[in-house]
Amino acid sequence: MGRLSFSPSKTLRPSFSLCFFNIIFFLFSSAVAFNLSTVSFDENYSPLFGERNLIQSPDGLNIRLLLNAYTGSGFISSSMYQYGFFSAKIKLPSDHTAGVVVAFYTSNGAVFEKNHDELDFEFLGNVEGQPWRFQTNLYGNGSTNTGREERYFLWFDPSKEFHRYSILWTAKNIIFYVDDVPIREVVPSEEMGGDFPSKPMSLYATIWDASNWATNGGKNGVNYKYAPFTSEFKDFALEGCSVEPIKESPDAVCFEKAGFLESRDYAVITPKRRTAMRKFRRQYMFYSYCYDKLRYPVPPPECVLVPMEQERFQETGMLKFGGSTRKQIRNSRIRHRKRPRVSTGSDQA
């Protein structure tokens, strides 16, 4: 999981005033809810660590993960999967959560220690009164030296109610979803090679103390006066091909299931969903490795540089300072309109 440390300016905080309601309405109305079958915890997951801090509801459908001064906690899927759709509704801890990280991710590091794959949602706590932020990341074939982090705000308070977070992983693409809004897609390319995750992975969920990096570059650590910190999970959805990676050839076993995944509604970013994704990224993404020229003078091969996104970022990959996210978008559009129009292929991007 990522360890990208920086301190975003207060000017980057999203506004939750009435002026954003039209954007929020568009985001939600652009995506029809997925038709998902939920699964029970007992049949599909098991405790990973901190078992005393893992509290299960009597019906086996809801799980609470706690972090206190003694330990965090986590769970893992009972099987490994060659491609899949991994999803749950999650509610994050409230109030002062600086230094706290809640992670929902896939990995095979326990089996392939030197060349593991990973897909991450990491939710980063904050000081009281400041919003949660989160990042997505991926590794393939042990490519941990090439961080592929993107960081975002949310258009809602994730500690007030449950929202669905999902990871789709197929041979054709990876899509991260918040509710039914796609926020990031990664498409493999020949140049990307083994950096695209390809080996069977398990699903993990954890809560833990990341005081050394999670909030303002480690300046604000966990204050256990506010413990226990509680993250809740429910309505699990898990679709994929269960395999024994050491005993079986995943490609041979999972051919039919892979076709099923690729035919599902969530595997396709429709034009409406793609528009919603672009709006989300323009409004709420505040860091992208693709625009971080100090780390990557030449962007990694999977990066698709969007001109209206690119001009909003500094060489560090962070948003330019000097105003709110919304103001920077408005100024960016003004500059774009003033620029002479030149008909090129990139205009259609």
pLDDT of residue 134: 98
| Residue 118 appears among annotated catalytic residues | yes
CB neighbour list of residue 72: distance below 8 Å, 6 or more residues apart: 49, 50, 53, 65, 66, 206, 207, 208, 209
Distance separating alpha carbons of residues 142 and 194, to the nearest angstrom: 9
pLDDT in tens, 219-274: 999 999 999 999 999 999 999 999 987 766 666 678 888 889 999 999 999 999 99
**Is 181 within 8 Å of 276 (Cβ atoms)?**
yes
Mind listing the pLDDT tens digit for each residue in 173-193? 999 999 999 999 999 988 888
The predicted model scores a pTM of 0.85
Q: Are 198 and 40 in contact (CB under 8 A)?
A: no
> What is the layout of strands, in order, in the sheet containing 54-56?
54-56, 63-67, 229-243, 80-91, 163-169, 174-178, 181-186
**Selected catalytic residue, list 118, 150, 239, 302:** 118
Look at residue 144 in the predicted model and tell me its pLDDT: 82
| Run means of pLDDT, 10 residues per run, the chain, 349 residues | 52 47 46 80 95 93 96 97 96 97 97 94 97 96 88 97 97 96 94 90 98 96 98 97 78 81 94 96 95 94 88 90 44 37 35
pLDDT (0 to 100) of residue 309: 85
pLDDT at 321: 59
Q: Among 283, 273, 264, 285, which Cα is nearest to 29's? A: 273
First to last CA, the chain: 31
Active site residue 113: no
10 Å CB burial of residue 252 (0-12, 13-18, 19+) is: exposed
Of these residues, 122, 149, 239, 309, which one is catalytic?
122
